[in-house]
Amino acid sequence: MQTFITTRIRWVVFLASLVMFSCISKDSVMRESEVQFRDLAKILADGKIVAVTDYNSTSYFLYKGEPMGYQFDMLRDLASFLGVKLELVAENDIEKSFEMLKNGEVDIIANNLTITTQRKKEFNFTIPHGETRQVLIQRIPANYDEIENTLIRNPLELKGKVVYVQRSSASAQRLKHLSEEIGGNIMIVELPNYDADQLIDLVSMGEIDYVVCDESAAQIKGSSLRNIDFETAIGFPQHVAWATRHSSPELLNRVNTWLEGYLTTAHYRMIKSKYFNNPNHLKRLNNDYFFVYQDRVSQWDEYFKKFSPKINWDWRLLASLVYQESRFKHDVVSHKGATGLMQFMPQTAQHFGIDSTVSPTEQIEVGVKYLKWLDDRMVENNIPEEERFKFVLAAYNAGLGHVIDARNLARKYGKDPNVWDENVEYFIRHKSEFLSDTLVRHGRLRGEETFRYVSEIINRYEHYKNILK
């Protein structure tokens, strides 16, 4: 088993290095001057803040199709405070996260980053939003009577042991210091693209013996793994914070101003309790709808992948639509009489020759046929490919006639009828104000519902792309 794991880890390290090398391009690296001026004013002007965080059982994950997590919830509140949209990048390699910040690809790193002297030389840190310490993860022996005889309680006992850590993490730094303190005999293995959750799983499965990680991660993961011990501390408590560039002082000041008030609120205490002190979170970890590392969002993924090419869609976009319609429930019936995964209305189902008895596979297949029919109508109207899926989503929700009305209104009132954002979507949202216009031929529409429908599907799709590779 050890030989297998060692080989696998070597391959992980090798492949990760290839990926890192291949990702370095002129498109991914900003010129120094561009990075220099990516401060608060630029963020506000662009209307978005770009953040990177790790995806794991607490920071950022998907549950029942929705993004959640301690860091995610805080970032969403920060974006609301700034009056901008949140654009999120998921990355579990801390070294890559720092590189993205340095290159201007992101504005802020939102992790439980320990504030070290070396890191402060290269980056600014916000005021702390918590504290943590490094702990040793080890497997509890099957014979409960042997626990105290086999478990390491003194860090000095790590001498000569192989210990795994997340690459470039505070755990790695602390372990290196400890190794020097006891004579440099701890064999430290830093794994790229492995976070604390995954490393703890390897210990639980018996593939490796020791891991050092943040206590906060250990507490959550260890609560669902009964054969894991995390009682042995490797270091003293340390403050944790977010990081920004030295060249973004105004952003740092604004974030600190927000944090000073935010961390004292009942709302923040509720968020913290939600992920660290709530038994319901442990239930999420073992739920079929908890997705972090699995390359799936539902039991129907193989059919999304099978049929999405017929409409030239990313399967994750199709999955997001289906979740919006039915929460992946194939037997659900809406109050309006819509049925199945794709929520066909009776008249639409009749048109395609199906009823409520068809299999989930057929539901998806026919749904894609209908989406293809709508897409063909958009092609006939010369809507560019990068915009068509938004119009198709709107038509799937509201009906093709309402989209035609909105496009005609956009053309009449000086907007681009082939662009959704801030153009056609405006007339979808405000259609009720134009009912007297002769171009409106398909009646009333709850336009805000259709606007939210399209926005929520696209937003969820972006999260799916973050997590599902």
pLDDT in tens, 185-233: 899 999 887 888 889 989 998 999 999 988 878 887 777 788 899 999 9
Which letter, b or e, does each residue of 364-376 get, where b requires 16 or more Cβ atoms within 10 Å of its Cβ? bbbbbebbeebbe
Q: What CATH code would you report for 31-130+241-291? A: 3.40.190.10
More confident residue, 348 or 232: 232
Percent of the chain with pLDDT over 70: 86
Which of the four CATH numbers 3.50.50.60, 3.40.30.10, 1.10.530.10, 2.60.40.10 does domain 301-467 have?
1.10.530.10
- Delimiting residues of CATH 1.10.530.10 domain(s) in the chain: 301-467
Full-model pTM:
0.69
| pLDDT tens sequence across 66-115 | 788 999 999 999 999 999 999 999 988 888 999 999 999 999 999 989 88
395 has a pLDDT exceeding 90: yes
| pLDDT tens sequence across 445-465 | 999 999 999 999 998 999 888
- Tell me the sheet residues that pair with 244: 124
More confident residue, 37 or 85: 85
d(CA 397, CA 304): 19
- Delimiting residues of CATH 3.40.190.10 domain(s) in the chain: 31-130+241-291, 134-236
pLDDT at 356: 63
**CB neighbour list of residue 224: distance below 8 Å, 6 or more residues apart:** 282, 285, 286
Which letter, b or e, does each residue of 102-138 get, where b requires 16 or more Cβ atoms within 10 Å of its Cβ? bbbbbbbbbbbbbbeeebeeebbbbebbeebbbbbbb
State the CB neighbour count (10 A cutoff) for residue 309.
11
State the CB neighbour count (10 A cutoff) for residue 455.
14
Q: What CATH code would you report for 134-236? A: 3.40.190.10
d(CA 210, CA 116): 24
